Chain A
């Protein structure tokens, strides 16, 4: 019942949004989710230009393929370097050795990129809120629930294993984080978990923790080695494992958060009410609250 009243309120708010937008109705219709995805936005320039571009691109592709396929054999310098220094890296998996020891600076910057992307998405603030709307609403499907209850713990277990085994075999923080994120998205999409928001302190902490732990380790080893991120001998393995553990959680939370993309909206913000209640994931496109607000400001 409460659902119904909420729907009605949202629906009328959505109609208001249509009226306020002052757009021809057919334009709004053209934004229906179906056409949004079915129409790839066909090429609409002159045909000769399309042909020219297509053939040029095909020629470039053929040239690229030919160059790559006929490039002379080179000595594997980099893999040999890695192989020679693997014993001092603290881990036996060469990929992890590169990621978290030899080129750990790159990985650190990558985690910084993740944090930056997260900040950018949050600052846009009017992105997808379809899943925020669904929070608290569970799908009453026994098969779905059974599957989720089976898959999520399994994903957690495999993620822990992947993070652990990364030092000896294929695996590591990124694979484990992606797997955990998959489990998290599944939980959020089925309504079993409230989508994390930027408001939640734990979420913000977890997202920043990856970068901060990495930087802390980087500076922390300096009194012993004098070089940023240069692990003291004997300490490489525990440090790598620790960084990987924090990164796993951090990456997982960032990926879930990027997916559900829930902005920080105060409770009294009426923009959430304007969301289309039809339940279509793309229904949010019908309610361009951002355009609405800014359109008002311009006039």
Chain B
């Protein structure tokens, strides 16, 4: 049972980490990556948290859901990356610009300085 708790805790940590990345990172590809980390955490929780008959075997229903989820997540990632590429193609920067940052946006290399200031 203790190892299952470890999985659940790791899942929660992954979810929160991904959430942080999805919100705090402006780079679109990193956002897509972060959402994938979030979904990894959710899959982990879905497998580890539900009650079991035999502790060594996960509930088949969440297992089937996770299998479905992985495929859907992969497909959604492909769509999201395609849209991110479209944003790059149209605006020249891999992020969604804030209105007050000017129409031109900023070079990717200037972003860290901004964050420090």
Chain A bound to chain B: yes
A interface, CB within 8 angstroms of B: 21, 23-24, 26-31, 35-37, 39-44, 50, 53-54, 57-58, 60-61, 64-65, 68-69, 71, 73-76, 78-80, 82-83, 94-95, 97-99, 103, 106-107, 110, 113-114, 117-118, 120-121, 124, 126-128, 172, 174, 178, 251, 254-255, 258-259, 261, 284-285, 288-291, 294
Q: In chain B, what residue has the closest Cβ to A172?
A: B67
Shortest A239–chain B CB gap in Å is: 17
Is A82 within 8 A of B82, CB to CB?
Answer: no
Across the interface, B16 reaches (CB within 8 A) one of A39, A61, A82, namely A61
Q: Report which residue of A21, A23, A75, A76 has the largest number of chain B beta carbons within 10 angstroms of its beta carbon.
A: A76
Q: In chain A, what residue has the closest Cβ to B19?
A: A57
Is B53 within 8 A of A114, CB to CB?
Answer: no
Shortest B96–chain A CB gap in Å is: 10
Shortest B37–chain A CB gap in Å is: 13
Shortest A121–chain B CB gap in Å is: 5
A110 and B74 CA atoms in complex are apart in Å by 12
Shortest A99–chain B CB gap in Å is: 5
Across the interface, A103 reaches (CB within 8 A) one of B25, B64, B72, namely B64
The contact string, 1 if C-beta is below 8 Å from chain A, for chain B 35-71, is: 0000000000100011111000001110111011011
A95 and B25 CA atoms in complex are apart in Å by 37
Is A35 within 8 A of B109, CB to CB?
Answer: yes
A184 and B55 CA atoms in complex are apart in Å by 37
**Can you show 8 pairs from A to B with CB atoms below 8 A apart?**
A39-B109, A41-B26, A42-B112, A44-B114, A76-B59, A79-B51, A174-B71, A258-B75
Chain A residues with CB below 8 A from B72, complex form: 110, 113-114
Chain A residues with CB below 8 A from B45, complex form: 68
Is A79 within 8 A of B53, CB to CB?
Answer: yes
A31 and B106 CA atoms in complex are apart in Å by 11
Is B53 within 8 A of A291, CB to CB?
Answer: no
Chain B residues with CB below 8 A from A36, complex form: 27, 29, 94, 108
Chain B residues with CB below 8 A from A73, complex form: 51
B84-103 residues with Cβ-Cβ distance < 8 A to A are 85-86, 88-95
Is A259 within 8 A of B26, CB to CB?
Answer: no
Is A39 within 8 A of B27, CB to CB?
Answer: yes
Is B15 within 8 A of A78, CB to CB?
Answer: no
A196 and B27 CA atoms in complex are apart in Å by 30
A205 and B20 CA atoms in complex are apart in Å by 41
Q: Report which residue of B28, B83, B104, B108 has the largest number of chain A beta carbons within 10 angstroms of its beta carbon.
A: B108
Chain B residues with CB below 8 A from A117, complex form: 75-76, 78-79
Is A27 within 8 A of B107, CB to CB?
Answer: yes
Across the interface, A288 reaches (CB within 8 A) one of B64, B88, B104, namely B88
Is B85 within 8 A of A126, CB to CB?
Answer: yes
Is B71 within 8 A of A61, CB to CB?
Answer: no
A65 and B11 CA atoms in complex are apart in Å by 8
